[in-house]
Structure 1
Amino acid sequence: MIEQTFIFCVGATKAGTSWLYDYLNSHRECQLPAVKELHYFDALEHGSGAWHRKQLEGRLEGVRSRLDAADSLNLHQERLLTDGEGWLNTFDGETRDDDAYLQFVRNAAGDAKLIGDFTPAYGMLKEATFRTMAGLTDKVRFVFLMRDPVERIWSNIRMIAGQDGPATLEAKIKGVLDGTATNILERSNYRRTLNRLSAAMPTEMFHIEYYERLFTPDAISRLCAFLGITHEPAQFERVVHRSAPADLPAAQRAQLQTALKPQYNFVEKFMGELPTEWTQKMVSV
């Protein structure tokens, strides 16, 4: 059996994880479960397994409905049904069985050189859980994508609000600012994630990339080298899960920027500088 590298992509949400999943899943040396987000470790830590099972069951039912209407599915849909049903049979949402989890991922991947789990919600896990994940196999690697914190939150809000209009967008921004929309805000807590990753494992086990630089040959070359796979061309023009378009007013950008200042300060200290793609969007506050 060939040595396999196990990759965890731990976020951040709306920072390019779905595009990266598609890139790696189409790579000849990689195979990931057709269920992009397995939600194994966060379900165990947060007790959210029943909700995630219900979401997956609904998704699979939608695929079956398309099969009833069309009498055939594309390859990804077929794999989604197989892997989705397999995952529901493997994990009941609450019982820990790391061996069964690992075997499921391996069965879905065959003899691919790179296997793994892309669940952005893992970015909110505790240090102890990261340490457990880091020891899952002999060769584990973590990838964490960061996006300008304000832009990440704004994209997240637009995704949640959909086409609901300005009133809903404004209400979501208010929720972030007054602390009631904690789930949205916490997904931009890069300080927490990077501190916990750093404490749980050697720095050579995790790779950080900026969303704003991800869609370039240089970024993909760095990533492939980190993962130990051949650098293959990527479809940089391909857009995955684009949020509904809407402009963020300058006044609200300034408010969000102020609220997220600790994150900007931390990233600057941790990385040595802020990317120009972030600083050029900042407004005076």
Structure 2
Amino acid sequence: MSGQTFIFCIGATKAGTSWLYDYLNSHRECQLPAVKELHYFDALEHGSGAWHRKQLEERLEGVRAKLAADDTPKPHQKRLLADGEDWLNAFDGETRDDEAYLQFVRKASGDAKLIGDFTPAYGMLKEATFRAMAGLTDKVRFVFLMRDPVERIWSNIRMVVGNQGRAALDAKIKGVLDGTATNILERSNYRRTLNRLSAAMPSEMFHIEFYERLFTPDAIARLCAFLGITPEPAQYERVVHRSVSADLPAAQRAQLQAALKPQYNFVEKFMGELPSEWTQKMVSV
């Protein structure tokens, strides 16, 4: 439908994208796929489509098992299964077909003002891919959420490690610091993402929000104004995908902070300042 706004939420991982997806997915003026992360553009750029298809297929198998065992299946499970199967049929993981992609995202969107794709991994895409995405429809908007780089990495580590214990947490921190846990470190490369966005499109096409300020009426009002939809009440206290609890020792925080100093410096220059929620957690290094 011409005139709909198409949103790309491109990250960052562990910076509130799932909460924002849930908010917009329940919004009366929005229609988003039940599959939150479509991994279309990153699969094409990185050749990772087969892996993403396998992940989705395994997820859908889990949903089928739940539906078979549940006397009162939940509507969102049935919708996820249907959308997941449709997406697997629409995209083979390697063949670019923007029309099929758009047809899938627009499916059942009716008169919704906002449709789109929430895939945090898109934050690592190249400038040329961002430029292609920006021209996908006549009204494309990008949203990028930033979280204190150390806090984002620590949350990411706790999510990956799960309940494996302190030794596993320490090993993953070591991997980030010595460069072997590159995927976790790269998800905090805000400098790269913002530079590529800025080069690929005019600034009015992308909106930046800090995770630490996202869960407020003011932030939601700013976001909805940017997307052209009416603000609706939100469950600001709701936590989505909570990572396991663990303290980050001051010495390790200082090491991560030093390693991420270029990111702090860039965000301060790009945004004009660092949010107080970031600076208050900094330790002397």
* TM above 0.5: yes
CA distance in 2, matches of 1:110, 1:228: 17
The AA in structure 1 aligned to 2:217 is P
Give a deviation string over 1:53-96, Cα, whole Å, max 9, x none.
00000011001001111144211111101100000000000000
Could you tell me which amino acid in structure 1 is paired with residue 212 of structure 2? E
1:217-256 equivalences under 5 Å are 217-256=217-256
CA shift in 2, pair 1:2/1:44, >3 Å: closer
Deviation at 1:101, TM superposition (A): 0.2
* Correspondences of 1:163-182 after superposition (within 5 Å): 163-182=163-182
Structure 1 residue 108: Cα displacement: 4.4
Q: Where does the alignment leave 5 or more consecutive residues of structure 1 unmatched?
A: none
Contact kept? 2:37, 2:119, Cα under 8 Å: yes
Residue pairs, 1:189-204, within 5 angstroms: 189-204=189-204
Instruction: Answer yes or no: is 1:50 the counterpart of 2:50.
Output: yes
TM-score, normalised via structure 2 length: 0.99
Alignment of 1:146-165 (within 5 A): 146-165=146-165
User: Bigger shift: 71-80 or 41-50?
Assistant: 71-80
The equivalent of 1:93 in structure 2 is: 93
Within 5 Å, give how 1:101-180 maps onto structure 2. Answer: 101-180=101-180
SS across alignment from 1:109: coil
Contact 1:17 1:145 in 2 (8 A): yes
| Contact 1:2–1:111 (CA under 8 A) maintained in structure 2 | no
Aligned twin of 1:213: 213
Partner AA of 1:269 in structure 2: K
Which aligned segments of 4 or more residues in structure 1 are displaced greater than 3 angstroms? Answer: none
Q: Residues of 2 paired with 1:92 and 1:72: CA distance?
A: 32
Alignment check: 8 A CA contact 1:12 1:146 kept: yes
- 1:278 partnered with 2:275: no
Q: Distance in 2 between matches of 1:178 and 1:109?
A: 46
- C-alpha distance in 1 between matches for 2:68 and 2:26: 27
Conservation of the 8 A alpha-carbon contact between 1:145 and 1:209: yes
Cα distance per residue 1:239-281 (max 9 Å; x no partner): 1000000000000000000000000000000000000000000
In 1: Cα distance, 2:32 partner to 2:183 partner: 27
Of stretches 183-192 and 231-240 in structure 1, the one that deviates more from structure 2 is 231-240
Contact 1:6/1:115 (8 A) holds in 2: yes
Contact 1:83–1:108 (Cα < 8 Å) also in 2: no
The 8 Å contact of residues 161 and 169 in structure 2, kept in 1 or not, is answered as: yes
> C-alpha separation between the residues in 2 aligned to 1:61 and 1:72?
18
Aligned length, in residue pairs: 285
Find the aligned partners of 1:82 and 1:243 in 2 and give their Cα distance.
Answer: 28
Amino acid at match of 1:273: E
Q: Contact conserved, 2:41 with 2:129, CA < 8 A, in 1?
A: yes
TM-score by length of 1: 0.99
Residues 31-61 of structure 1 deviation map (CA, whole Å, 9 limit, x = unaligned) = 1000000000000000000000000000110
For the aligned residue pairs, the C-alpha RMSD in angstroms reads: 0.8
Gaps of 5+ in 2: none
